[in-house]
Amino acid sequence: MHSNKSLTFAALVAAILDLSSWRGARAEATLAPFTPTVINWSLDVPTIRRVCAEQIAAARTGIARLAHANQVATFDNTVLPLENIFADLSDTTVVETFLSQVSPDKAVRDASVDCQNDQSAFQSEATAVPSIYRSLLVVSKGGAARSDADKALLRFYLNTYRQAGAGLGERARAQFVALSKELATVQNQYLQNYANDNTSLTVSQPEIAGLPDDFVASLKSNGGGGLILPVNDSTYGIIAANATNENLRRRVYFADTNIQFPANIRLLERAIQIRYRLAHLLGYHSWAAYQMATRAVTQPAKIDAFLAQLDAHLKRDAAADVSALVALKGATIQPWDVAFYRNQLQKTRYAVDRNIVRQYFPAPHVVDAIMQIYQRILGVTFTAVRPARAWYPDVIEYAVSDTQSGRYLGTLFLDLYPRQGKPGGAFNDPILPVRRSANGSWRPPITAMVVSDWPAPHAGKPALLTHEDVTTFFHEFGHAMAALLTTAPYESLSSFNQDFVEAPSQMLENFTWDPGVLKQISSNVDTGQPMPDGLIHNLIAVRCTSDRLCNAQSASTQIMFSDIDLRYHEDGPNVNVNDVWYAVSRADTPIPTPAGAHPAAQFTHLMGGYDAGYYVYLWSLVYAQDMFTAFAPDLESPAVGMRYRKTILEPARIYSPDVEVANFLGRPMSPAAFYAGFNTRVP
């Protein structure tokens, strides 16, 4: 998952309205050597509150000066100062905002969330200023944006201000701003509820039969002969795939799907109500229509048709996938059975034991080997920084440089193991985007991969990863490379369009199913030997028993998530999120969600930037699989990798996805490779 911070608002060092020097910043320039940016992550609560308040006040002054500037609007005196204000805001409070996701201190996390809420409130005000919007319209008519990056930046701010209500009348605009502030607070509360959850079960020794020895050894005693079984992203997959006791799998399933129920259900339903009202204030019939207005796909109906068409193609195959699991169980497959019987299917039909595979993926080796592959493909070099200048002792820091020139590119942090308060799953956060200053120099970026679903190292032994964990790491590392290698001159253009943001990383998931790559990234935890050829062959053979790129049942689950999201955001304001979930799961998948489970309370994507946008995981696969055709003949081709770096990663948001993919492939995008993965024809 990619964490999008294209408009994170932090602090203004000074209101910059004397912009004559910006003319030189837009000239094409050779990238000069970067100077690493070193950040102090040790902030206490009073400092976070003070800095956040001071800088938001300064930012408000800067926006006010720009709003009341008595001048004929041009790109230089309107768009550039606007970008400068927002970029300065983001840059100077990266610590104050990022600590909400990684600090071990709950008080610090809470203060950081407060800072985010305050910044979001400022954003709602600052991007709804009518006079600035009118100035942007003047600039758009005057043709003052000359370069492609300038034109893209102007489009970005026009869309931002229009979608923030800047063109509304006074009363409607005030309503829009107030609702936007409330929405940000509701979303942040939902995410923090989930991150701070500590759900666990007490289990007996007989109940944990089948669980891996290293996992069992990590469990704590409850002092009465039982064990405490945490239920979170780092434990659920291991339990679901291995526990032979169906009652335990069922208990864990319902514990997991009821995390933060009912509190987060109420917050999600309130968010949907607010979004509906915001969309209608701007004249859109739904939040989905509002969100898609600025994306590559502007019509929700087009996405609805895409999902329905794909679901129709996959229904028969999805039912067949489940039938194979039913044959193993000899009874109906329930949601808590899927991972377990997939694991059994892989063992019995393909001789692939998930726990034997884990022995070949000790986390330190996997990380190092994957980084070496990225080095060869993209022409970069990673150098460990010791001691790491980070926010927690086990975080790893790397200096990243261009291999050919030796030029320093940026900083990469890896925060890989679970702890209380970290968000679930895995994501990359572009903490400090690349930025070109007024004098033409470049400020290097900082990005961080944050993972919570890996097991923690235990008793001096490294964490052992599933192949799914490895694939996720390859995916998220792709996001990190996108953050580090873009050369877009403006922070607001340093991330991809929402419709495309997952495609580059999804494309790279294919690498972890290649025999040569599997040899490189595997190393038996005891012997150091790579995975044997026979096991590699069998592992690749089981791919379509689970992988979303070719397993119909897994794809149907993605379709279900996408349809649920769109139903939430295409219907009216008073949505019963549980009823919608149950209805869509019955229609889209052969294994519907049972009563008593409330997965909507943990659907964090819908409160973290993917609302009316979860479909991008399937939509962007069309781009991803077509891009992979360029790599398929030679996965580690430096020539193809450099072309990918230059045509996709470096321009980032400057061009549309269709233009960038065509530049990379030398032809227009085709959906053939996507549909071929499911053994179906292009509709």
Query: 266-280, pLDDT tens digit by residue?
Result: 999 999 999 999 999
Tokens 């991972």 identify what position? 339
Residue 8's region, left for phi above 0, alpha for psi from -120 to 50, else beta, is beta
State both tokens at 351: 């001789």
Give mean pLDDT, residues 579-584.
98
| CA torsion, ordered 214, 220, 223, 227, to nearest 10 deg | -60
* pLDDT at residue number 25: 29
* pLDDT at residue number 33: 53
Give mean pLDDT, residues 458-484.
96
- Residue 586, pLDDT > 70, answer yes
What residues form DSSP beta bridges with 464?
Answer: 362
- Listed range (160-174, 241-255, 412-426, 630-644) with the worst mean pLDDT: 412-426
- Residue 643, pLDDT > 70, answer yes
Q: Give residue-wise pLDDT tens across range 165-204.
A: 999 999 999 999 999 999 999 999 999 999 999 999 999 9
- Residue 347, pLDDT > 90, answer yes
Domains and CATH numbers, the chain: 22-194 (1.20.1050.40), 198-256 (no CATH)
Round to whole Å and give the CA distance between 35 and 223. Answer: 53
State both tokens at 410: 């940026």
- Residue 390, pLDDT > 80, answer yes
Round to whole Å and give the CA distance between 639 and 247. Answer: 53
Cut 0.85: pTM above it: yes
Side-chain half-sphere exposure of 6, counting CA atoms within 13 A:
20
Tokens 């253009």 identify what position? 493
What 8-state DSSP symbol labels residue 165? T
* C-alpha 343, offset from chain centre: 27
Q: What is the DSSP string of 517-578?
A: HHHHH---TTT-PPPPHHHHHHHHHTGGGT-TTT-HHHHHHHHHHHHHHHHHHHS-S---HH
Q: Give residue-wise pLDDT tens across range 96-142.
A: 999 999 999 999 999 999 999 999 999 999 999 999 999 999 999 98
- Residue 17, pLDDT > 90, answer no
* pLDDT at residue number 9: 25
* pLDDT at residue number 30: 42
Of residues 251 and 315, which shows the higher confidence score?
Answer: 251
Phi, psi (degrees; rounded to nearest 5) at 122: -65, -40
Q: Give residue-wise pLDDT tens across range 593-621.
A: 999 999 999 999 999 999 999 999 999 99
Query: Residue 546: is it exposed, middle or buried by C-beta count within 10 angstroms (0-12/13-18/19+)?
Result: buried
- Residue 427, pLDDT > 80, answer yes
How sure is the predictor about 469, in pLDDT bands with cuts at 50, 70 and 90? very high
How sure is the predictor about 22, in pLDDT bands with cuts at 50, 70 and 90? very low
Give mean pLDDT, residues 529-557.
91
Distances (CA, A) of 367 to 2, 409, 449, 467: 19, 20, 12, 13
- Residue 16, pLDDT > 90, answer no
- Listed range (19-33, 74-88, 561-575, 639-653) with the worst mean pLDDT: 19-33
Round to whole Å and give the CA distance between 378 and 410. Answer: 14
Round to whole Å and give the CA distance between 639 and 631. Answer: 10
- Residue 409, pLDDT > 60, answer yes
How sure is the predictor about 7, in pLDDT bands with cuts at 50, 70 and 90? very low
- Residue 31, pLDDT > 90, answer no
- Residue 5, pLDDT > 60, answer no
Distances (CA, A) of 151 to 71, 84, 482: 21, 16, 21
| Bond prior to 262 in cis (omega within 30° of 0) | yes
How sure is the predictor about 470, in pLDDT bands with cuts at 50, 70 and 90? very high
| Bond prior to 590 in cis (omega within 30° of 0) | no
